[in-house]
Amino acid sequence: MKIVQINSVLGVGSTGRIVLDLYNFVISDKSQAVVAYGRNHGVTFDSSYEISSIWGNYTHGIKTRIFDRHGFGSKVSTKKFIQFLRNYNPDIVHLHNVHGYYLNIEMLFCYLKEMGIPVIWTLHDCWAFTGHCAYFEYIGCNKWKNTCNHCPQKHKYPKSWLMDSSEWNHQRKKHLFKSVDNLTIVTPSEWLGELVKSSCLKEYPIKVINNGIDLNSFSPVGSLQTKNTKQRLKIENKYTVLGVASVWDERKGLRYFHELSERLSNDYRIIVVGVSERQMKQLPNNIIGIKRTHSLKELAELYSIADVFLNPTLEDNFPTTNLEALACGTPVITFKTGGSPEAIDETCGIVVEKGSAEGLVKAIEHIRNSPFSSEACRKRAMIFDKNDKYAEYIKLYEEILAKKA
């Protein structure tokens, strides 16, 4: 079995780690695998293929900014990549994020149609079935169900400064993505699976495979280590509320931490991980800001010292930060939005009505007065053991190849 995975990044961020972990799981199953990725962040190996370059990402980005034709640049690099695919001759092509300024989707899908290769597409957001955006829940837009036009999020990722090509993009993407016969859609959450059923991709089989968690990397740290970390951050006697994101954009809900800093007493301390330099300067004194870290060890320490993990995301698929916190024994509070609530149950967290700062305060106080056990949180996380989830992918690969035979 020869598998090619395609994603915008490799080894970094939630999707990059998923792709790398799945690659390692596939080759441990004595199958062959290649990971093709868009941008190099330092993680490479013999069976990895860098599709684009810094210059290629830049020119694709400029095309997007001016013409709003994201996904329709990178022709030269995609042509070379397709030749690589022809030579490698994979049994299955497993797509992840095909957006990200590195790939020409028109050329790729024409190749997939021509060759009749079975395709699995794990959707990590909604970009595949919209004319522009990756998410639309925050603004309540439902144009994607019929025809996108006059995009209200033209200035959001993938940002366009000038033209609005959302209608053209939507129609072209429908045509391309529906041209492949042997396509299986995988979603990490039930929420996204239900959206796909109302989209242009509804004709294809849809399977839910949750994101997995590395239970070895994310586990409660020792008491001495916890004590040292709290001393370093000067929070020894504080009830700690933690937030973690790769990028704190508007939809991730950073403003709710600002609001909580005014509502919570001095007995509390808030830590926010992943803030930019600009955001760091804007944080109030009772919020500790930490820049983005790729260190799993550091993240596990921060999850472990927190009394509660707060994820006030306003739209999300199935955030792995919830799983990481649970695996470190920390209860989770999240808004009732997207697939975020699917990670928790009544034993390990609280779901709050979307946008309710008052609800967040009450949930934090409830957990402080009636704490969830670390063991219950860890037990819940074990449902999402990454090895079990990747085994589901191997089973799916085998089922698809058996049908082809």
CATH number at residue 366: 3.40.50.2000
Print burial letters for 196-220: b (CB count within 10 Å at least 16), e (below 16): beebbbeebebbbbbbbbbbeebbb
Residue positions counted in the chain = 405
User: Does residue 217 belong to any structural domain of this protein?
Assistant: no
Measured CA to CA in angstroms, residue 36 lies from 83, 96, 266, 364, 371 at distances of: 13, 10, 49, 42, 44
Residues 240, 261: Cα–Cα separation, whole Å: 12
Residue reference for tokens 């994979």: 90
Same domain for 180 and 285? no
Assess whether 231 and 196 both reside in one domain: no
Q: Are residues 137 and 29 in the same domain?
A: yes
Q: Is residue 145 part of a domain?
A: yes
Query: Residue 34 is inside which H or E element, if any?
Result: strand 32-37
Question: Read out DSSP for 83-152?
Answer: HHHHHH--SEEEE----SSS--HHHHHHHHHHHT--EEEE-SSSGGGSSS-S--TTTT--GGGS---S-T
Q: What is the pLDDT of residues 320-360, one digit of tens each?
A: 999 999 999 999 999 999 999 999 999 999 999 999 999 99
Distance CA 347, CA 398 (A): 35
- Please tell me whether residue 324 adopts helix, strand or coil conformation: helix
Distance between CA 226 and CA 234 in Å, rounded?
12
Q: Are residues 102 and 250 in the same domain?
A: no
What one-character-per-residue DSSP string does 213-241 give?
A: B-TTTSSPPPHHHHHHHHHHHT-TTSEEE
Give the pLDDT of residue 338: 94
Specify the pTM: 0.93
Q: What are the tens digits of pLDDT across the range 190-223?
A: 999 999 999 999 999 999 999 999 999 999 988 8
pLDDT of 284: 92
8 Å CB contact between 133 and 170: no
What's the confidence (pLDDT) of residue 42? 67
Identify whether 292 is part of a domain: yes
Nearest partner of 53 among 97, 102, 107, judged by Cα: 102
Q: Which domain holds residue 232?
A: 223-382
- Taking phi over 0 as left and psi of -120 to 50 as alpha, with beta for the rest, 100 belongs to left
* 394, 374: one domain: no
In a domain, 20, yes or no: yes
**Does any domain span residue 48?**
yes
Interatomic CA distance for residues 51 and 49, integer angstroms: 6
Whether residues 306 and 293 share a domain: the answer is: yes
- Same domain for 202 and 237, yes or no, is no
Tell me the HSE value of 313 on the side-chain side, using a 13 A CA sphere. 24
Burial (Cβ within 10 Å: 0-12, 13-18, ≥19) of residue 142: exposed
**Long-range own/partner contacts, residues 228-236 (CB < 8 A, 24 or more apart):** 229/301, 229/302, 229/304, 229/305, 230/305, 233/271, 233/288, 233/305, 235/269, 235/271, 235/288, 235/305
**What separation in angstroms does the CA of 119 have from each of 48, 190, 264, 338?**
19, 21, 50, 25
pLDDT in tens, the chain (405 residues): 999 999 999 988 889 989 999 999 999 988 899 999 998 776 778 899 999 989 999 999 999 999 999 999 999 999 999 999 999 999 999 999 999 999 999 999 999 999 999 999 999 999 999 999 999 998 999 999 999 999 999 999 999 999 999 999 999 999 999 999 999 999 999 999 999 999 999 999 999 999 999 999 999 988 888 888 899 999 999 999 999 998 898 899 999 999 999 999 999 999 999 999 999 999 998 899 999 887 889 999 999 999 999 999 999 999 999 999 999 999 999 999 999 999 999 999 999 999 999 999 999 999 999 989 999 999 999 999 999 999 999 999 999 999 876
Q: Rounded to whole angstroms, how far apart are CA atoms 138 and 316?
A: 10
Do 188 and 361 touch, CB atoms closer than 8 A? no
**Residue 207 located in a structural domain:** yes
Instruction: Tell me: do 88 and 27 sit in the same domain.
Output: yes
pLDDT at residue number 404: 74
Q: What tokens were used for 345?
A: 């149950």
For residues 371, 375, 376, 379, the Cα torsion angle rounded to the nearest 10 degrees is 160
- Residue in this structure with the two tokens 């609280």, named with its chain if needed: 350
Both 19 and 135 in one domain: the answer is yes
Same domain, 255 and 365: yes
Q: Does 87 map to a domain? A: yes
pLDDT of residue 149: 96
**pLDDT (0 to 100) of residue 101:** 97
Total domains in the fold of the chain: 2
Is residue 147 located within the same domain as residue 81? yes
Joined tokens for residue 68: 């709003």
243 & 148 share domain:
no
Instruction: For residue 118, tell me if it sits in a domain.
Output: yes
